[in-house]
């Protein structure tokens, strides 16, 4: 077995073990991270979004929000910060502390179950889905971190309806030139 394989693409075995142990600990949180939208779905925000996107579908002027806006309602906003229970940010912190300081968005898969309507209040839950690595890429050696978010609207009577979901994957890596 080559030294490179023994060192897991240049990552010391104790670093790799710590990363995987922390990933399992954070995965154990499940969907503990929950965040409510600051504001209910509202027409002014929809108007700004569709104008910025160049989407002139009249449907969006009549009380419905484009499905692709699901994430907009629960974003942190200017100066907002993730809570300590946010699994994606917690895992990114683990990797940063281990020397994987660069990040590259790789892909996002979104599913929309229905449009949102003006007046609805959205919440999102997030879970750590997987941490794979170390992998040697053209950008450097790192780990692929995938989180899973689901957006809900709660109805009277306590039932929750999933309205959208997203798998979001990033590469957290040591830049190619770094040692």
Splitting the chain (179 residues) into consecutive groups of 10 residues, what average pLDDT does each group show? Answer: 58 94 95 88 96 94 93 86 88 96 91 96 96 92 96 92 96 77
Using an 8 Å Cβ cutoff, are 172 and 128 in contact? no
User: What pTM does this model have?
Assistant: 0.87
Q: Quick one: pLDDT at residue 80?
A: 78
- Per-residue tokens: 1: 């077995």
DSSP 101: -
Query: In this structure, which topology does domain 3-175 adopt according to CATH?
Result: Thiol Ester Dehydrase; Chain A (3.10.129)
Check residue 177 and give its pLDDT. Answer: 56
C-alpha distances in Å from residue 92, one per residue of 26, 37, 58, 89: 11, 23, 40, 5
Of 44, 56, 48, 42, whose CA–CA distance to 119 is shortest? 42
Give the contacts of 156 (CB within 8 A, at least 6 positions apart).
none
User: Would you state the pLDDT for residue 176?
Assistant: 72
Question: According to the model, what pLDDT value does residue 10 have?
Answer: 83
Is 109 in contact with 134 (CB distance < 8 Å)?
no
Determine the pLDDT at residue 2.
Answer: 45
């Amino acid at each position: 077995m080559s030294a490179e394989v023994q060192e897991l693409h240049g990552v010391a075995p104790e670093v790799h073990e710590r990363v995987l142990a922390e990933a399992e600990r954070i995965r154990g949180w499940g969907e503990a991270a929950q965040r409510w939208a600051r504001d209910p779905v509202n027409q002014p925000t929809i108007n700004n979004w569709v104008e910025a996107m160049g989407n002139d579908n009249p449907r969006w002027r009549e009380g419905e929000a484009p499905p692709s806006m699901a994430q907009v309602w629960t974003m942190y906003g200017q100066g907002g910060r993730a809570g300590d229970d946010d699994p994606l940010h917690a895992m990114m912190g683990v990797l940063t502390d281990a020397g994987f300081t660069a990040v590259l968005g790789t892909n996002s898969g979104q599913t929309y179950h229905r449009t949102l309507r003006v007046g609805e209040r959205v919440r999102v839950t997030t879970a750590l889905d997987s941490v794979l690595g170390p992998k040697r890429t053209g950008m450097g050696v790192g780990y692929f971190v995938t989180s899973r978010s689901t957006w809900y609207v709660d109805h009277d009577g306590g039932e929750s309806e999933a309205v959208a979901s997203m798998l979001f994957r990033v590469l957290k890596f040591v830049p190619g030139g770094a040692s």
